Structure 1
Amino acid sequence: MKKIQTDFDPRFWAGKRSGLQLIEIFFQFNELDVSKERLSNMMNYAVKRNSWIHEDHAVIFQFHQSMRSLIRAGYLMMLKERKWTVDTRPEKISPWVLGLLSEKEYRNPLLVFRKAFREYTLKEFDYFMSGIVYFSMGTYENLPERNIVMPYIHTMKMLDAAHLILQRRREKETADINSG
């Protein structure tokens, strides 16, 4: 008898969608500030002993899957290297606008993805997301065995960079419509 193996890996990022389309879909269902706050809350509860997140578990799971999709979208974009995301304006950028991004990363948000995937693989980001979901949803004696701070910082920066790329795309489309 032939052994049938079921693949439960989500297909949010698979198919004929570009990284940019996946980022658009992510931000249709998730706002930037809410996503950053939820990720921060999950991280805080993941490193606290004897406490767990009081948010609906279905919402946490949906957010986990959405973040996996966003991380994969960034990976796809990094592989294709779009040049139009670079901001070449010479003016000084306000620290309030930068968020966690450096000025160089703000000018070229793809640098965020390149740096993140130079340091960690997709599998390691999946492990990080799964870990903070697991440890934030219950009380455990043990804390995560790996350093989860750096993947957390990279993930927060990816949220900022992805939102910035999408915002610049919209500005470009608006400018093209107005000039054409």
Structure 2
Amino acid sequence: MKKNKISFETTFWAHQELENPFEVIDTFLGSESLAFYKQTLNEIVIYRSKDEVYKKECPGDVFFTYTALRSFLRACSALQHKNKKWRVTEIAAERRSILSQASLTIEEYENPFIVFHNAFAEHSLADFEFFLCEVIHLALRPTIVEFDSDLLTPYIHVIKMLDASQLLLESQVEKIEINE
């Protein structure tokens, strides 16, 4: 049975359609820093419960960030299946500290693919896209709106996926040869 290939929809922010999830992650974290994305996502989540509009002076920036984060989530969805096919072989010596572990457990730090697998075992890509759309929608409203969906759990998973992606970029990753 042939798998349906998901489009990462990178044209809006990367100005080209990327087809490899590793390229998407590289371009995503090359366009802005990990700290920028984590800070922006944190601000968006905070503004969802304020009666102020997030970045009202330049809402286009929010749309641009939304499209990049959406592509990032789509690439992470593809990476969830790489857990058994790829592995981190070496983490740069200067990155080996408890601070570089960030939100990751020791097991996730040693194998960042676990983060993607766990996130998508708990939530679907549609759930993560709904979370992203919902928090941005709420952050761009001038009034506080009650919501009944869980926005905290997907937020934590996205932060972990950001940290795992940065770790993948800074590490050596190799494909595992599977003998059957």
The TM-score range, normalised by the shorter chain, is: 0.7 to 0.9
Name whichever structure is richer in helix by fraction. 1
- Matched to 2:9, the amino acid is R
Size of the alignment, in residue pairs? 159
Please, which runs of 5 or more residues in structure 2 have no aligned partner?
1-6, 175-180
% same residue: 24
**TM-score for both structures, normalised by structure 2:** 0.78
Deviation digits for residues 48-79 of structure 1 (CA, Å, limit 9, x no counterpart) = 3x122135211111111111111111111222
Counterpart of 1:27 in structure 2 is 29
Equivalence for 1:17: 19
Distance 1:87 1:106, change over 3 A: farther
Deviation at 1:143, TM superposition (A): 2.7
The match for 2:101 is 98
Q: Structure 2: which amino acid aligns with 1:43? A: V
Higher strand content, 1 or 2: 2
Residues 46 and 143, structure 1, Cα contact 8 Å, conserved in 2? no
Q: Which stretches of structure 1, 4 residues or longer, exceed 4 Å deviation after superposition? A: 13-16, 86-89
TM-score by length of 1: 0.78
Query: Structure 1 residues 112 and 153 mapped into 2: Cα distance closer, same or farther (>3 Å)?
Result: same
Alignment of 1:41 onto 2:39:
no
**Is the CA contact (8 Å cut-off) linking 1:86 and 1:109 kept in structure 2?**
no
Change (3 A) 1:54 1:107: same
Residue correspondence of structure 1 range 1-180 to structure 2 within 5 A: 11-12=9-10, 17-48=19-50, 50-54=51-55, 56-81=58-83, 82-85=85-88, 94-169=97-172
**C-alpha distance in 1 between matches for 2:24 and 2:144:** 37
Is the 8 Å Cα contact of residues 112 and 168 (structure 2) preserved in structure 1? Answer: yes
The gaps in structure 1 that reach 5 residues or longer are 1-8, 173-180
Larger Rg belongs to: 1
